[in-house]
Amino acid sequence: MLLIVGDMDLKSFIRDIHDFPEPGIIFRDITPLLLSPEAFRFATDCMSEPFVHSGIDYVIGAESRGFIFGTVIAQKLNAGFIPVRKPSKLPAETYSVDYDLEYGSNTLEIHKDAIEPGKRVLLVDDLIATGGTLAACCQMVNELGGELAGISVLIELKFLDGFSKLPSVQGVPTYSVLQY
């Protein structure tokens, strides 16, 4: 299966917003990319392509922008989608992880019965900064007995070196479409 046909300058669909959410920060705004069905399709094809032969059973995406890419990529890989959510949003029994964000701190939850042990999981997000959200998701996959099969993001902030700070991804393929 080859998903990607042609090429596209995806960075031209990312809008730089200066001083958001804090002074000195350049926010990479993905909403222009979402407005273009062709750019969104191409972006999610690129994010899926390295994992089409990885036997992915589930894609995990964290609330909220992880939902945007995770659901579409799950369908492309014929995998199930598992939402990781903010506290008190998931209705059944959950496993919780507290972690540090680029700005502040956060807690995320996953349904305890979401991952059948031994199943292969791909983590998906729009962006990796310091890697806090993805590290929390890695911890969830380990705790629930899943096998981490890869991480795919649209945007990697290279200067923050997030992938190398994820302790549990040694030997696990990681992929970013765009680097800043």
Contacting positions for its own copies (CB under 8 A): 15, 17, 20-21, 27, 29, 31, 34-37, 40-41, 44, 58, 63-65, 67-69, 71-72, 74-75, 78-83, 85, 88-92, 111, 114
Pairing label, strands 58-62, 174-179: unpaired
> Is 38 an active-site residue?
no
CA 43 to chain centre: 13
Judged by CB, which is closer to its own copies: 154, or 166? 154
CB of 92 to its own copies, least distance (A): 6
Q: Tell me whether residue 69 or residue 175 sits nearer to its own copies (CB atom).
A: 69
To its own copies, the closest distance from the beta carbon of 148 in angstroms equals 18
115 or 166, CB closer to its own copies? 115
Catalytic residue among 41, 63, 65, 147: 65
Q: Are 48 and 76 in contact (CB under 8 A)?
A: yes
- The contacts found for 83-91 with CB under 8 angstroms, 24 or more apart, are 84/60, 84/108, 84/109, 84/110, 84/136, 84/137, 84/140, 85/109, 85/110, 89/63
Q: Are 117 and 88 in contact (CB under 8 A)?
A: no
Q: Minimum distance from CB of 141 to its own copies (Å)?
A: 15
State how far the Cα of 83 lies from the Cα of 32, in Å rounded to an integer: 24
Identify whether 102 is a catalytic site residue. Answer: yes
For residue 149, give the DSSP letter: E
Coil, strand or helix at 126: strand
Residue of 102, 116, 120, 143 marked catalytic = 102
The CB-of-37 to its own copies minimum distance in angstroms stands at 5
User: Mind telling me the catalytic residues?
Assistant: 65, 102
